Amino acid sequence: MAQHKTFLITGAAGNLGSKLKAHWQNTYDLRLLDIDPRGDSAILRADLSTWDLAWVERFRDVDTVVHLAADPKAHVSWTELIRPNVDALINVFQACVQMKVRRLIFASSNHVMGGYKDLAEPFLLTTDLPPKPGTHYVVDGEPRASTPYGSAKLFGERLGKCLSEIHGLSVIAVRIGWVKAGANRPQDIPPERGPWFRLMWLSNRDFCQLMTQCVQADSAIRFAVINGMSANTGMRWDIEYTKKLVGYQPQDDVEEKG
C-alpha cells in the first residue's frame, strides 16, 4: 500500500496553483495557501512575506511543498517584487526546514535564462549553462526588462541548493516555460509574442504531469534544476534531462493544433 502523503501548494488560487489544485484534489490530501483565496474556502489566506505561525503550522507533517506563490508579472521593479518574490520565498523555504518537509518543488522560471533570447547562436539551453537572468520585450509600446524577476528566481534556486546541502531538504527547481491562464491552447498565443515565448509553451496537462513526476521522483534527489516545457518542435530548451531525472513524458507540442 502506498504511503499516505500530504502536499502543500502556495499560490493555490493563481494560474498555476488553481490548475494543479484541480488536478490533484481527488488524489492527494492538499493544504492550500494564497494571499488572495478569491472566494475559495479551501484556501487559507496567508501573506507569506510576513512570518506568521498561523500559516507556518500548515507545513507541519507535509511531505512535499510546491511553491508557486509570487507576483507573476515579469516586467516590474525590485520594489514591487521584494515582498512577494523574495521575502515570501525565504519564509517558505525556512518553514520547510523548520517543519522537516521532505521535498520542496520551486517554481523557477525561463527568465533565469532570458539573456540568451537575443544571442545569434541558437544553441540548446541546458540547465548547466551559466544563468543570464532577464529578457527584453515590449509592453504597451514601451521597452521592458525582466531582470529583477529573473534574478529573484535565480536567488530561489541558489537558496534551495544551500538548504539542501545544509539541512538535507530535497529541492527540485523547475524553470517553467509559459503557461497561459485558462485553456492555454497554442492557437490562443498572441502572434506578437514571437517564437521565443511560443516555443517555451507548457500545456496545462504537461504542467500537471511534470509537477506530479517531481513530487514522486526518486527520494535520493537532493538538489536539481530542470526545464519545464512541452515537447515543442524546434525549441531551444533542453527537456531530455527533465525526462531522465523525473520521468517526465510531455504529451503536447505547440506546433500541433489538434
Give catalytic residues, as residue numbers. Answer: 149
Instruction: For the chain, give the secondary structure using H, E and C.
Output: CCCCCEEEEECCCCHHHHHHHHHHCCCCEEEEEECCCCCCCCEEECCCCCCCHHHHHHHCCCCEEEECCCCCCCCCCHHHHHHHHHHHHHHHHHHHHHCCCCEEEEEEEHHHHHHHCCCCCCCCECCCCCCCCCCEEEECCEEEECHHHHHHHHHHHHHHHHHHHHHCCEEEEEEECECCCCCCCHHHCCHHHHHHHHCCECCHHHHHHHHHHHHHCCCCCCEEEEEECCCCCCCCECCHHHHHHHCCCCCCCCCCCC
